């Protein structure tokens, strides 16, 4: 024991759990001095607790902090507080959180949070670092989104860094409102309403995150001067409003090198202007890109492959489209420069028809609807048009995607041949038996 105490950093405190079932955490915090490191021993501790001094609390997977009261499990009111390594079981209602941060320069890392409310609430703070935490909803499976809390919830909190967290089953995975210059990077978001939800943020970045089976991968609203890059949102298709990325009232922002695959709508761009949308892979969605009241955006070198409807545009003038790849487009490249001399125009016939009478959705992709759409040419000079569509995919990522598609196609062929061979064998075998 003496050797263990000597090995601790100066100012460290060992919090022994003894043999009691539940140890109050607040007295341990109260006994600590500013700058102390509290190393929690294996055991179960009870909250709620308030941290009003700059201290560090550390633990491991054998340390569990529990709370059933209608308040946050741990509330941080001082600057420079650090938490790491332990588990929090927050069984209070959704108006409270496992961790509530009100101080500046907090660092919260490597926690396992199981909650029936919010995971973390960051309020009127700045420079929070939130890394490698796992946040999971443990309330009723039948709970609706409105009955849940968000995984990581920031309000009026700036210069935050949110990285490598995994969030499952919450209302919104990561929610940012009225917060500037924040970075949301390399997080994994599963089975939420909105994986990432940004409201009224400025000068931030959403990069390299992955989301699957959410209602919407990234809901970006009321945003300007923000970068959405390198994200992958797949299989958002369980709801009639599902989409990979939604831009609503977004301006002067960059959306590039994202993958949206297998969603109801890949990218939905509404009432947004002045954005650069470049190099995105829009794959196997019901609708690839949907534009509604979107104006003066620039779409360049995006790849639209195997979408049921490649693109739709309604009341969206003056958008610039250049060198995008549309896999169903039959172009003509006379000078062999890889760019078609025939432009690709997004026909608005179906969207206009459905907007007037939704019952016409019953005739989607019917021969008659396709025939009428091909005949429709009214206002063609106002249609959203790619004047220089690419004839092929030629980047490294395009090549990788092509190989992936070819592999999938080959598997289908192999499976088909196996079935054909089996059917042939059965037919021959049955013929022999009859003889």
113 within 8 A of 135, measured Cβ to Cβ: yes
Residue 311 has pLDDT above 80, yes or no: yes
Confidence band of 332 (pLDDT split at 50, 70, 90): confident
- Per the listing, tokens 């959403």 go with 206
- Which is more confident, 108 or 381? 108
Q: Lowest-confidence range among 102-106, 131-135, 161-165, 426-430?
A: 426-430
Residue 267 has pLDDT above 70, yes or no: yes
Residue 277 has pLDDT above 80, yes or no: yes
Q: Could you tell me how far CA 35 lies from the centroid of its own chain?
A: 37
Q: What is the mean pLDDT of the chain?
A: 85
180-214 pLDDT, tens digit each: 999 999 999 999 999 999 999 999 999 999 999 99
pLDDT at 376: 60
Confidence band of 356 (pLDDT split at 50, 70, 90): low
Q: Give the H/E segment covering residue 278.
A: strand 276-278
Helical pair 349-356 and 367-375, crossing angle rounded to 10 deg: 110
Report the C-alpha gap between 435 and 433 in whole angstroms: 5
pTM of this structure: 0.83
Confidence band of 435 (pLDDT split at 50, 70, 90): low
pLDDT at 142: 85
pLDDT at 2: 36
Q: Which two tokens stand for residue 166?
A: 């995994």
Confidence band of 358 (pLDDT split at 50, 70, 90): low
- Which is more confident, 422 or 22? 22
């Amino acid at each position: 024991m003496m050797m263990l105490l000597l090995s601790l950093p100066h100012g460290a405190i060992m919090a022994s759990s003894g043999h009691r079932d539940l140890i109050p955490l607040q007295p341990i915090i109260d006994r600590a001095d500013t700058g102390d490191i509290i190393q929690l021993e294996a055991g179960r501790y009870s909250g709620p607790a308030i941290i009003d001094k700059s201290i560090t609390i550390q633990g491991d997977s054998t340390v569990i902090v529990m709370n059933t009261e209608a308040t946050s499990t741990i509330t941080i009111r001082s600057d420079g507080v650090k938490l790491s390594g332990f588990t929090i079981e927050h069984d209070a209602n959704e108006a409270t959180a496992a961790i509530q941060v009100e101080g500046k320069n907090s660092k919260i890392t490597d926690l396992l949070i199981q909650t029936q409310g919010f995971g973390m609430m960051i309020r009127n703070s700045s420079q929070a670092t939130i890394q490698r935490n796992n946040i999971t909803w443990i309330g009723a499976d039948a709970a609706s989104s409105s009955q849940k809390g968000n995984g990581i919830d920031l309000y009026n909190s700036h210069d935050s860094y949110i990285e490598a967290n995994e969030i499952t089953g919450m209302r919104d995975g990561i929610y940012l409102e009225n917060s500037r210059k924040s970075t949301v990077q390399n997080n994994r978001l599963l089975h939420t309403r909105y994986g990432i939800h940004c409201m009224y943020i400025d000068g931030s970045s959403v990069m390299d995150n992955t989301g699957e089976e959410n209602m919407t991968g990234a809901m970006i609203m009321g945003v300007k001067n923000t970068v959405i890059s390198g994200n992958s949102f797949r299989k958002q298709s369980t709801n009639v409003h599902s989409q990979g990325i939604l831009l609503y009232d977004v301006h002067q922002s960059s959306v590039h090198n994202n993958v949206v695959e297998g969603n109801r709508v890949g990218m939905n761009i509404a009432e947004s202007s002045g954005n650069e949308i470049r190099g995105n892979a829009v794959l196997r969605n019901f609708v690839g890109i949907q534009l509604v009241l979107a104006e003066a955006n620039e779409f360049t070198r995006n790849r639209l492959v195997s979408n049921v409807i490649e693109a739709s545009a309604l009341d969206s003038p003056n958008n610039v489209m250049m060198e995008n790849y549309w896999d169903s487009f039959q172009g003509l490249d006379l000078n062999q420069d890889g760019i078609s001399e025939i432009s690709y125009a997004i026909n608005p016939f179906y969207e206009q028809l459905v907007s007037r009478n939704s019952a016409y959705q019953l005739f989607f992709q019917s021969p008659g609807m396709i025939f009428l759409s091909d005949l429709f040419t009214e206002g063609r000079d106002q249609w959203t048009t790619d004047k220089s569509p690419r004839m092929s995919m030629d980047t490294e990522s395009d090549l990788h995607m092509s190989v992936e598609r070819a592999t999938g196609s080959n598997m289908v062929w192999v499976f088909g041949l196996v079935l054909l061979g089996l059917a042939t064998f059965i037919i021959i075998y049955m013929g022999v038996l009859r003889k």
